[in-house]
Copies of this chain bind each other. A is one copy, B any other.
């Protein structure tokens, strides 16, 4: 029973956290006299952090002199909750073992420094790789100051997205449909272009509905939605909806509706992403179509590609899926069979 062992249990706890939304999933374990006395994890957004969840399961007498294992550096500031560092100090914790330091540049190291100032022994970096995998989007957002971007595509074996221009084509199977709906809940924004909005008329909401709905983001530089105001995502109020456009007419039309319209003179993907980053959007699931995928690729903003592949061929009349101008290689491809469709999730290598 060493630090690695107890941190592994803390990471398992972190993975059990749900509904944390913009907060990271964190796990905590309290150990005294070599025995686990309590475990905890981040409660749904707005609720207690992992350290508080674990420590408040015990009396002060039980926590005094204990070691706390926590997958992410304890916070040292007032947010929706009081700082965890204060609770750790108040509860007489003697030693804190941390996996990841906080990726947020303004915060990193401050929690650890505060604990050390109070005479607590702090060990860092234990299980850091496994812990970092729990919150890839959160980590990326605070390290790079922009959202993690996943391109998602549903393609045929011959790498096409529809039978022809303007044709809504159901390529993938029901298992993929269900998987995509669940997957949307892992992101804070779902991005489509105006063609997808008009041709598919999607709602883009995750199913089942999560407590926090990802924002729907429609890129419509030319303002084509002005002639399609009946679209479901402009009217259903099921989730926040953002329309980015360089078209004054559309911007005027949508002003005063439930839709957030952002007029950007150039309406480039970089500007859109900057705007979303300022809103705290940590992750984007870019559903396409191919033109939007190409714009994100050209801007160098792609971290991951998730492809759902159906083993049919749409033929040369089909609309080609996004294809990069240079070869792309990927790290750690995860391949999964869904019925007779295939899901491939892979991290874009940034060195090419």
Contact = CB atoms under 8 A, between A and B. Distances in A.
A163 B324 CA distance: 12
Given A158-B159, A335-B340, A337-B337, A311 B330 contact: yes
A317 B321 CA distance: 15
Please report whether the interface of chain A is mostly helix, strand, loop or mixed according to DSSP. Answer: loop
Interface in A310-341: 311-318, 321, 323-330, 333-337, 340-341
B323 A316 contact: yes
Interface in A54-76: none
Given A158-B321, A337-B335, A342-B335, A312 B326 contact: no
A160 to B, nearest CB: 8
B318 A313 contact: no
Contacts of A326: 315, 317
A137 to B, nearest CB: 21
B330 A312 contact: yes
A316 B313 CA distance: 19
A344 interface: yes
A186 interface: no
B324 A313 contact: yes
The quantity of this chain's copies bound in the complex is 2
A324 B316 contact: yes
Contacts of A317: 325-327
Given A335-B342, A344-B311, A327 B157 contact: no
A201 interface: no
Contact of A312 (B318, B329, B334, B336): B329
A346 interface: yes
A20 interface: no
A297 to B, nearest CB: 10
Nearest to A321: B158
Contacts of A158: 159, 321, 323-324
Given A159-B157, A342-B342, A313 B337 contact: no
Interface of A: 157-159, 163, 307, 309, 311-318, 321, 323-330, 333-337, 340-342, 344, 346
23 contacts: A157-B159, A157-B307, A157-B309, A157-B344, A158-B159, A158-B321, A158-B324, A309-B342, A311-B333, A311-B344, A312-B328, A312-B329, A314-B327, A315-B328, A317-B326, A318-B327, A333-B340, A335-B337, A335-B341, A335-B342, A337-B337, A342-B342, A342-B344
